[in-house]
Amino acid sequence: MQLLEHRLQGGKDLQEIIMSNIVTEIENEIKGLKLKAQKENVGTVTEVGDGIARIEGLSDVQASELVEFESGVTGLALNLESYNVGAVIFGDNTSVKQGDSVKTTGKILQVPVGDAIIGRVVNALGEPIDGKGKIASSVNYPVEKIAPGVITRQSVSVPLQTGIKSIDALIPIGRGQRELIIGDRNTGKTTIAIDTIINQKDVICIYVAIGQKTSKIAQIVAKLESVGAMKHTIVVAATAADPAPMQYIAPYAGTAIGEYFLDQGKDALIIYDDLSKHANAYRQMSLLLRRPSGREAYPGDVFYLHSRLLERSARLNSEYGGGSLTALPVIETQAGDISAYIPTNVISITDGQIFLETDLFFQGIRPAVNVGTSVSRVGGSAQTKAMKSVAGRLKLDLAQFRALAAFAQFSSDLDPETRNQIERGKRITEALKQPPFSPVPLAEQVATLWAVTNGHMDEIDVTKIQEFVAHFLSHLKIKYKKVMDEVADKKIIEDSSLKALEEAVAEALKTFKPGSESFKKSEAAQKVEKTEYSVSTKKDNKAKGKKK
């Protein structure tokens, strides 16, 4: 080629031509070069331990900026002091050593969001931990974001059905609401949250596990998978074994994932299980960062920690897409003490609370919801008409029952009216019981509560109420399916449906034979007996399969 040119140009020196070519090439390169000045601020680790690094020389770092350590591990600059910066380390903190260099990145913490993340289990940084490979998502959302303003919001009016009779009837939750689940250890808090996830059809659920045992999280994921609820669920897990910064960031990461769906105009539900452990992680982190401690050794901004998190749940108005993010934070109390620092904080931030009590749990009243002290401040306007028509009576009956319950032991000396009220109350309490992981559809809830509050179960022995409910519902499902579908669709009880219900309950009472084998064998009865998580690992399943 060059020889050919050489000939064409009439014998110019070959070397000269090559040189000129190189020069023009270099010239072109220089012309095309776009130089951008980039300032990189590099500092040195002076102290490291317990997941916290102290860095000198990072004079230009911003608060909550991501920093990168020499080993590639990232951290978050939290304390900006005169001579040094305190940063928390995400991931393997043993790889960070004294004397290592650290550089600023100019970025704030983000997590991948989008539809691709549905059905996955991720850590607090949005990285998959379920062994199902990479998450194909091109959108990232910042972990911390300012909550939607007043102008963009609208009030709660669409129900979020939990499938739990006592909650849907007495403490209704609306989409966009924040309802606290609070109670001592082992009172069924997580079960309520999981039941609610299982009951959702068009709502995307995010379960944020904070400071829980890995085995417990694995059980929950297995349960959700076995009932097909993982299809609309994302699990964000920061286990007890994860460093405190990961536990601290997990709920914010989960919320960012939820906000993506909120922005898409969809309905999402987020569960923070639990915020007591979150506050503990924050306390640990803050003390290590040498922030001054206040009440119960929590740092002064622990209220802001939770309020800025829960404020991000909202129902947007139609101008802003009409999406919603409902939050169910969980708080664990010690010996029922709701006046401790963290419980009072979160109670004041949320729109109501579901109180679970150990006493009720051990009396066999499960879910152990204390319907007297639990409230939902805004959910009433989101309750369906069908449910409203039975809930009013239910509330009244239960309130009277509570007032009279103290006299229950003297029942023989009581006047008939009081005795009837006590008997009715007992039956209602019985009808509200429900085994774990079996949410009840709206129409069935309405039919059950209608029957019991209207005295149709007064003649049945208290111990046989659950059996009768099962019998009544199966009768309805077989013979009155149309009526049930109508209640489910229209969400009101029409006069014709009411008539049908009356017929159905009369028939069910006639055909009811307590102690029938079919009930004992039924799933419902077995679930009542078996209170443990009925989740088994894959190995167990295989073993069972072999036995069969």
Q: Which residues are catalytic?
A: 377
Among 168, 332, 351, 397, binds ligand ATP (CB under 6 A): 332
Among 24, 186, 363, 496, binds ligand ATP (CB under 6 A): 186
Which one of 15-23, 117-125, 183-191, 499-507 is the stretch in contact with Mg ion (CB under 5 A)?
183-191
Identity of the residue numbered 198: I
Print the binding letters for residues 365-384 with ligand ATP: x by CB under 6 A, - otherwise. Answer: -xx-----------------
Q: Which of residues 419-448 bind ligand ATP (CB under 6 A)?
A: 434-436
Cα separation, 411 vs 419, in Å, equals 6
Q: Report the interhelical angle of 465-479 vs 442-453 (nearest 10°).
A: 120
Among 307, 347, 533, 535, binds ligand ATP (CB under 6 A): 533
Identity of the residue numbered 148: P
Contacts of 453 (CB under 8 A, 6+ apart): 390, 393, 394, 397, 424, 428
DSSP code for 514 = T
Closest distance to ligand ATP from the beta carbon of 234 (Å): 20
Q: Which of residues 451-510 bind ligand ATP (CB under 6 A)?
A: none
112 touches, from Mg ion, ligand ATP, none (C-beta below 5 to 8 Å by class): none
Q: How far is CA 47 from CA 53, 71, 72, 97, 389, in A?
A: 6, 16, 18, 8, 64
Which one of 155-163, 184-192, 245-253, 461-469 is the stretch in contact with Mg ion (CB under 5 A)?
184-192
Burial class, 263, CB count within 10 angstroms (exposed 0-12 / middle 13-18 / buried 19+): middle
Strands 74-80, 233-238: pairing is unpaired
Which one of 186-194, 232-240, 251-259, 281-289 is the stretch in contact with ligand ATP (CB under 6 A)?
186-194
Q: 434 or 445: whose CB is closer to ligand ATP?
A: 434
Closest distance to Mg ion from the beta carbon of 92 (Å): 28
Cα separation, 466 vs 394, in Å, equals 17
Size of the site for ligand ATP (CB under 6 A): 17
Among 190, 324, 383, 453, binds Mg ion (CB under 5 A): 190
Assign 46 to helix, strand or coil. strand
Interface with ligand ATP, residue 185, by CB under 6 A? yes
Report the sign of the C-alpha dihedral through residues 171, 172, 177, 182, in that order.
positive
Q: 256 or 330: whose CB is closer to Mg ion?
A: 330
Q: 288 or 340: whose CB is closer to ligand ATP?
A: 340
Contacts of 20 (CB under 8 A, 6+ apart): none
Q: Give the up-direction half-sphere exposure of residue 301: CA atoms within 13 A in the CB hemisphere.
A: 9
- Output the DSSP codes for 257-271: HHHHHHHTT-EEEEE
Cα separation, 508 vs 180, in Å, equals 38
Closest distance to ligand ATP from the beta carbon of 164 (Å): 8
Print the binding letters for residues 187-216 with ligand ATP: x by CB under 6 A, - otherwise. Answer: xxxxx-------------------------
Interface with ligand ATP, residue 531, by CB under 6 A? yes
Q: Which of residues 447-476 bind Mg ion (CB under 5 A)?
A: none
Closest distance to ligand ATP from the beta carbon of 184 (Å): 7
Closest distance to Mg ion from the beta carbon of 234 (Å): 18
Contacts of 512 (CB under 8 A, 6+ apart): 460, 468, 471, 472
Which tokens go with 362? 């051990």
In the complex, the residues that contact Mg ion under the rule CB under 5 A are 189-190
In the complex, the residues that contact ligand ATP under the rule CB under 6 A are 183, 185-191, 332, 366-367, 434-436, 531-533
